Structure 1
Amino acid sequence: MTCSCLSEAKGMTKNMNKISEVTRQDIIDIIREGFTVILDEEEYDDKSDEYVTERTIKMPYYGRLDEIDFLSRVYNLKELPSHDSRYKNVLDDISCHLRWDDYEEECWFFQDERFKLQQKDGDEPLLRFICEMVHPAVRREKSPWKQYLDKFNELLRVDGYELYPAHHISGRDIYKAREYSVPDKPLLPDNLFSERYKDLIDYGHGEAVDNISNNIDYRAKKHICRIMQNFREPIQYQPNRYHNWTEKTDALDVAINRLNEFMDTPVIDLKSAMFSLSSEEEIFANYFTPFIFDVIEFQYDELSEGEKCGFQEEINASLQKDNVSFRLIDRGLIEQLPDHEVLTSELISMTEQIKEPGLRELFDIAVEKHMQPSSQSHKDAVEKIWGVLERLKTYYTGLDKKKSVERIINDMAGGQEDFVKLFDTEFKALTDIGNSFRIRHHETDRTDITDIRYYDYFFNRCLSLIALAIQYLE
């Protein structure tokens, strides 16, 4: 199965050609030869016996696979023709050449027209290729894949693309390409975790309860708080602009103060640790989980660029080790990972089978909305996935809507009457849900969805039917 990395949710099509000849060649050179990075401080180089301020980074494009296994993820090698009459397809052809190591240059396929990586072939093949390079099943986690990702984005953004974490597998990011626009910086504190998920938090009249992160245990929170303690990067500030003296604080203290100011009350106070037998991290871990996540986001915002990456990596490693279904994303926000979702990377790559561009586009938008860390995005995702269902019903344009649905159902059922009834019932049930509940925001005469958790149920139920139907489309 080939990998679909190009997000058409932003209106991109396969024949787009925005990547300039210069950028394309820069990307090819990086894949072939690596690239030079400037070091934050001098390092000793054994080869030159000198201290250096820069070094070359290089990793094989195929990661922990071999060349054929990697190329098989991007192309159907058995369908591509051979240039050698002795072989029936390109798989047999290149297997022989690689076995005897008789290609004249590394990454020979960039010049091979069969692989469509030249300027005339448009953007999608190259974007698909580099997305696959940083796929979790391909990349070596200890390799400089993240630096390659950053370098690719540095080049692509000039021409209007970026690679972004579209979804996850085993807690690791899978990247796709989308059109790039300069992102807005998260507007803290208005965009804090506890604000984004406020529909799931009940402050009540007693102890606050949240229905999104309340199952995170004390031990896991203590691990997180220890990392926050370790990243107390010193900060100097001038408390009075009319005087010259400066005072010292740190990123964690500033983050806690920012949260308390936003809440208009001290919701976190670590000063009591001075008079307690408990450690500061033990006291910290007893606080309300959404407030701890708020502090993480503020702390990330306060850290210098050099500290942000290490902080993010250690927080995420701790969350993953403790099986906590959240992560700190590159924008400094805590995002919930899907738990027991219908949505998988395999399902998303199935959308390449959809020949109708409008349906693919709408599906990608629904998925992208569902993966975003906000209640409103999950509501929007349900509206979009119902739009996918309605558009799916008219997939066969030569038939009217009813006949088109009948054909889809018959293909899914394989002519078995019991399954025809089953799938017909499910199509009608989902149609009734769409007509009865306020899935489309503008329809005010429908039953309101009062619990935000219902939206994920609706999304996954509708997606299940769509995911199955996609596999039978012609």
Structure 2
Amino acid sequence: MDKISEITRRDIVDIIKNGFSVELDEEEYDSSSGEYITERTVIMPYSGRLDTLGFLSRLYDLKELPSHDSRCRTAYDDISCHLRWGDYEEECWFFEDERFNLRPGDGDGTLLRFMCEMLHPAVRNEKDPWKQYLQKFNSLLRVDGYELYPTQHISGRDVYGAREYVEPDRPLLPENLFSERYKDLIDYGHGQPVDHISNHVDYKAKKHICSVMTDFAEPILYRPNRYDNWTEKTDALNVAVNRLNEFMDIPVIDLRGAMFSPCPVSELLANYFTPFIFDVVEFQYDELSTGEKGPFQEAINAVFQKDNLSFRLTDRGLVEQLAKHEVLSPEIIILSEQIKEPGLKELFDLAVENHMQPNLQAHKEAVEKLWDVLERLKTYYTDLDKKKSTEKIVQSMSNGQDAYESLFNAEFKALTDIGNHFRIRHHETNRVDITDIRYYDYFFNRCLSLIALAIQYL
């Protein structure tokens, strides 16, 4: 795809090269100029803790790219020598080098990967202003229909990927609460509560979350009866708890005894069912003033990262699950560009788009669409019947090696059997239900691995 405009691309490259200016909340004295300033330049090296060669090697196989110097065999040797000799006059010379697909007209995929790699935990220096770079990149990219978002955690730190950006609607609480969105994984009305999505969040982590919630118990003047003029003093946390209890029709969380307990409110709240705590987080975000929403979101997400929890409070105020073990990489996403058959490409893009949304229904639809991709892939060679077309794909993939031909034939059959046995493409009563989002992710990643490999041989 080529959605990033020439203007946006130029702005992004300028930011990577030279940084950008941010307005200060109040004037600061600048000792170098002897004047008070109202803005400051934010800049960080694109390669973070790495050198240029190390950074580029994460994005490209430099030993396979050609050399521009007749004295060198590969791009790796070429770049190594010229860096050593100081021949590159411009710091970011590679934006003009056709080998790196970063020029206008080269598509969006490589530039998006470049920005994501700048923000990767193995690259970025945590002391650098990388979060400001993330916000600045997104402010530019969203205008052209993309955003960078956390796809997974490594050692409690976010790894970023790119996806198409859709302007978010204001969430319709309470119908859109955490416990409602993930209700297929939660059962709290029949005896002992069952939690198949946040059951790994232990008491210690819940205490950390609830401590943030009590820290942000912003005072609120509440008018209990719209026909009376008197108001009560309360706070955002208590209002959030009351809204949840009203929605549930029963007091699923009761903090009335907190004033008589020697324990902090956060410890009492942490004893409750985790999905209900996440519901209160979402209600509380909804109740907070505009100035408090951002710091509250940042503090909650800092706890999620510190305790290595696969959740994130989004800009919409929703606690969403993140994928932790992901096959879907930027390299696989841009494989879509190699698919020539329009119907197959559309299905593949739709499956990927759904899988990138962190909710059960979207992951369910992603798996269903991906199995449709698999079935359509089998008929890729339209001059052959389905069986012969599949055989031709397998023969291409196996490069004449019998062992791999047997392996890929078995995998095509196994995935077909999975689609028939589980409730993926067929919905008869004898199909096996899938009730855990992690099972959907397993099916998606397994099927995607085969499809991604096959696409490269079409």
TM-score bracket relative to the smaller structure = 0.7 to 0.9
Deviates more, 1:29-38 or 1:263-272: 263-272
Q: What SS does the aligned partner of 1:267 have?
A: coil
1:303 and 1:50 mapped to 2: Cα distance?
A: 38
Instruction: Give the deviation of 1:256 after TM superposition.
Output: 1.9
Within 1, Cα distance between the matches of 2:104 and 2:238? 52
Indicate which of 232, 241, 244 corresponds to 1:256. 241
Give the match for residue 331 of structure 2. Answer: 349
Equivalent position amino acid for 1:133 in 2: M
SS in 1 for 2:419: helix
Higher alpha-carbon deviation: 278-287 or 123-132: 123-132
Deviation, 1:240, is 7.7
Cα drift, residue 370 of structure 1: 3.3
Which residue number corresponds to residue 330 of structure 1?
A: 315
Q: Which residue of 1 aligns with 2:258?
A: 273
Task: Label 1:438 to 1:120 Cα distance change in 2 as closer, same or farther (>3 A).
Answer: closer
Residues 283 and 44 of structure 1, relative CA distance in 2, 3 Å threshold:
farther
Residues of 1 paired with 2:262 and 2:140: CA distance?
53
Map 1:416-455 → 2, pairs under 5 A:
420-421=405-406, 423-440=408-425, 445=428, 447-453=430-436
The residue type paired with residue 366 of structure 2 is A
Q: Is the 8 A contact 1:238 1:247 kept in 2?
A: yes
Distance in 1 separating the partners of 2:378 and 2:429: 22
Given the alignment of the two structures, is residue 183 of structure 1 paired with residue 175 of structure 2, yes or no?
A: no
Match of 2:194 among 209, 218, 222: 209
- Aligned residue number for residue 457 of structure 1: 439
Deviations 1:349-385 (A, max 9, x none): 3455573255565445334433433332222122022
Q: Does 1:218 align with 2:203?
A: yes
Once the two structures are superposed, what CA deviation does each residue of 1:6-36 show, in whole Å capped at 9, x if it has no partner? xxxxxxx3xx3x4333322222221111111
Q: Distance in 2 between matches of 1:444 and 1:83?
A: 57
- The DSSP-based 3-state class of the residue aligned with 1:168 is strand
**Deviation per CA, 1:304-346, whole angstroms, max 9, x where unpaired?**
454434333332333344343333233322122345x4x3355
User: Aligned with 2:252: secondary structure?
Assistant: coil
Report the more deviating stretch, 64-73 or 419-428. 419-428
Give the Å deviation of 1:276: 1.5
User: Which one is further off, 325-334 or 41-50?
Assistant: 41-50
Residue 72 of structure 2 corresponds to residue 87 of structure 1: yes
Q: Which amino acid aligns with 1:460?
A: Y
Pairing 1:71-470 to 2, within 5 Å after superposition: 71-158=56-143, 160-165=144-149, 167-170=151-154, 171-236=156-221, 248-338=233-323, 341=325, 343-344=326-327, 349-350=331-332, 352=334, 355-356=338-339, 359=344, 362-395=347-380, 399-410=384-395, 420-421=405-406, 423-440=408-425, 445=428, 447-453=430-436, 456-457=438-439, 460-461=442-443, 463-464=445-446, 466-468=448-450, 470=452
Alpha-carbon displacement from aligned partner over 1:397-417 (angstroms, at most 9, x marks no partner): 665432332244456667676
Aligned-pair identity (%): 63
- Two-structure CA RMSD over aligned residues (Å): 3.4
Per-residue deviation at 1:389? 1.9
Task: Give, in whole Å, the separation in 1 of the partners of 2:447 and 2:321.
Answer: 24
TM-superposition CA deviations, 1:169-222 (whole Å, max 9, x none): 425444344444422122222111011011222223444332322343222211
Partner SS for 2:40: strand
Between the aligned partners of 2:362 and 2:44, the Cα distance in structure 1 is 37
Q: Quick check: 1:62 aligned with 2:47? A: yes
1:370, 1:377 within 8 Å by CA — same for their partners in 2?
Answer: yes
Give, in whole Å, the separation in 2 of the partners of 1:46 and 1:252.
Answer: 44
Give the partner amino acid of 2:246. E
Q: Give the distance between the partners of 2:135 and 2:358, measured in 1 at CA.
A: 23
- On the 8 A contact 2:333/2:352 being kept in 1, the answer is no
Could you tell me which amino acid in structure 1 is paired with residue 449 of structure 2? Answer: A
Deviation by residue 1:107-126 (Cα, 9 ceiling, x = unmatched): 22333444443334444443
Q: Is the Cα contact below 8 Å between 1:356 and 1:395 reproduced in 2?
A: no
- Equivalent position of 1:9 in the other structure: none
Match of 1:3 in 2: none
1:146 Cα deviation from its structure 2 partner: 2.0
Distance across 1 between alignment mates of 2:253 and 2:34: 51
Question: Deviation at 1:53?
Answer: 3.3
CA deviations over 1:71-106 (Å, ceiling 9, x no partner): 233344344444433334433333222223232232
SS in 1 for 2:242: helix
Q: How far does residue 275 in structure 1 lie from its aligned partner after superposition? A: 0.8
CA contact (8 A) 2:328 2:445 kept: no
Contact 2:152 2:310 in 1 (8 A): no
Residues 238 and 31 of structure 1, relative CA distance in 2, 3 Å threshold: farther
Q: What SS class does the counterpart of residue 439 from structure 2 fall into? A: helix
CA distance, structure 2, for counterparts of residue 333 and residue 438 of structure 1: 28
Q: Which protein has greater RCO, CA pairs closer than 8 Å, 6+ apart?
A: 1
**Residue 252 of structure 1, CA deviation:** 1.9
Give the whole-Å Cα distance in 1 for the aligned partners of 2:241 and 2:63. 58
Cα distance change on mapping 1:464 and 1:435 into 2, 3 Å? closer
TM-score normalised per structure 2: 0.84
Report if the CA contact (8 A) 1:161-1:177 is conserved: no
Count of residue pairs brought into register by the alignment:
452
**Retained in 1: the 8 A contact 2:219–2:236?**
yes
Query: Are residue 34 (structure 1) and residue 19 (structure 2) matched?
Result: yes
Residue segments in structure 2 that go unaligned for 5+ positions in a row: none
